[in-house]
Amino acid sequence: MVEGVQNLLVIDPDKCTGCRICEEACSFHHYGEFNPRRSYIQVLRNDFEGVFIPMTCQHCGKPLCVEACPTGALYQFGNAVFLDKSKCIECKQCLNACPFGGIQVDPVTFQVVKCDLCGGDPQCARRCPTGAIKWVRADQVGYQKKVDGAQRSARLISLIVPQG
């Protein structure tokens, strides 16, 4: 990583097929088991509409969860928000504060958990077969969104403009 440049998780719901490999990779990395209920990322599904949206901690620039934490267990470092479980008193104020549902309670231990970016190698992004989840340099996110938007526009235009 270039000094001063940090990475971000970028999620593109248009590319998500609902395979849930991200959930499996996350739970295996953290718990050594394939259990989507223990994943720090969840794929929200609307099967009727055919929409799948991977959701995880957004690692906000001004995280409300950090402000709500009375013990300092949640803290911001660079572009990420981390949880120091040794300081957590399980008051769950962070769950109430997070507008995205990025913090959750583990269904086995009943402890607060959240995405930790797998120590800088997010397994959800590494294992995503469609590129719906990417680990991208922060200074490239805007450029990549422009490229993706141009490709989407070109595809849509080709559907409405007669060929030949």
Condensed to tens digits (0 to 9), the pLDDT of residues 120-137 reads 999 999 999 999 999 998
Task: Note the pLDDT tens digit of each residue in 4-62.
Answer: 448 889 999 989 999 999 999 999 999 999 999 999 999 999 888 889 999 999 999 99
Given 3.30.2320.50, 3.30.70.20, 3.30.830.10, 1.10.10.60, which CATH number is that of 57-114?
3.30.70.20
Domain ranges of the chain: 7-56+121-164, 57-114
Q: Which CATH architecture has domain 7-56+121-164?
A: 2-Layer Sandwich (3.30)
Same CATH fold assignment for domains 7-56+121-164 and 57-114: yes
Task: Note the pLDDT tens digit of each residue in 135-161.
Answer: 998 888 777 777 777 877 787 787 787
As given in the structure block, the two tokens for residue 77 are 């470092």
Which 3 state secondary structure label does DSSP give 42? strand
Q: Answer with the residue of higher pLDDT: 161 or 99.
A: 99
Task: Supply the pTM of this predicted model.
Answer: 0.82
131 within 8 A of 12, measured Cβ to Cβ: yes
